[in-house]
């Protein structure tokens, strides 16, 4: 029957764009590389800086010295080393769980950096003196002045956590979600 050229079939929505590839491998490659660098730099620091005065580098912009830190960043919570170790375990488990859902390269890199940092400092807390879950973290970089007088003394793991955290915050502020979608796209689709 002729209906004057008007289609009687229901309109269908255009197909959704395919999801980006999962990025689990990116998380673990970034984490493995940075964890290895952290472990290597800590071993070098222990073998070359033990019992020595801070070594000035880049005209005093950076000093290398060995400090064993029982606390968190900026030497906070020094009496709660075992709690910090358990928090690091929780962070590692959470990132491994979330990694299966990642489809954003930026988020994968950010979480890989945080995972590397958590593993690096957790390794120290488990295997260094004075004992399991109470080990002191090896720090060796003092910016602007020796002995942490210009800035806190830190290590590669601490730097990885900070850079990864900043990257994740920037991605969130830009509306980029861990699953590869954009919150701006979601809002636009919801308003249509």
* pLDDT 10s digits, 35-56: 999 999 999 999 999 999 999 9
Q: Which of 2, 38, 124, 139 is catalytic?
A: 139
Residue with tokens 């075992």: 82
CB-neighbour burial class of residue 31 (10 A; exposed 0-12, middle 13-18, buried 19+) = buried
Whether the pLDDT of residue 111 is over 80: the answer is yes
How many angstroms separate the most distant Cα atoms in the chain?
95
Measure the CA–CA gap between 102 and 55, rounded to whole angstroms: 41
Cβ proximity of 104 and 172 under 8 Å: no
Q: Which of 158, 177, 179, 185 is catalytic?
A: 158
pTM of the model: 0.83
Residue 177 catalytic? no
Residue 185 catalytic? no
pLDDT at res. 2: 57
Cα dihedral 95, 100, 104, 106 sign = positive
pLDDT at res. 143: 94
Mean pLDDT of 70-87: 74
Measure the CA–CA gap between 26 and 10, rounded to whole angstroms: 43
123 versus 84: the higher-pLDDT residue is 123
Whether the pLDDT of residue 172 is over 70: the answer is yes
Measure the CA–CA gap between 179 and 176, rounded to whole angstroms: 8
pLDDT digits (tens, 9 = 90+) for 15-37: 666 667 889 999 999 999 999 99
């Amino acid at each position: 029957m002729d209906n004057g050229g008007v289609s009687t079939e229901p309109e269908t929505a255009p197909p959704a764009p395919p999801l980006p590839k999962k990025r689990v491998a990116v998380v673990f490659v970034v984490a493995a590389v940075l964890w290895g660098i952290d472990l290597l730099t800590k071993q070098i620091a222990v073998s070359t800086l033990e019992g020595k005065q801070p070594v000035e580098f880049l005209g005093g912009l950076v000093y290398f010295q060995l400090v064993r830190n029982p606390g968190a960043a900026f030497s906070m919570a020094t009496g709660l080393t075992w709690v910090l170790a358990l928090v690091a375990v929780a962070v590692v488990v959470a990132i491994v769980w979330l990694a299966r859902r990642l489809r954003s390269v930026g988020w994968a890199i950010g979480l890989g950096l945080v995972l590397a940092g958590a593993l690096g400092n957790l390794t120290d807390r488990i295997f260094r003196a004075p004992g399991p879950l109470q080990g002191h973290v090896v720090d060796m970089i003092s910016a602007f002045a020796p002995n942490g007088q210009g800035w806190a003394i830190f290590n590669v793991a601490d730097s990885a956590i900070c850079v990864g955290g900043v990257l994740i915050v920037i991605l969130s502020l830009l509306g980029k979600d861990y699953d590869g979608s954009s919150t701006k796209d979601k809002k636009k689709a919801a308003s249509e």
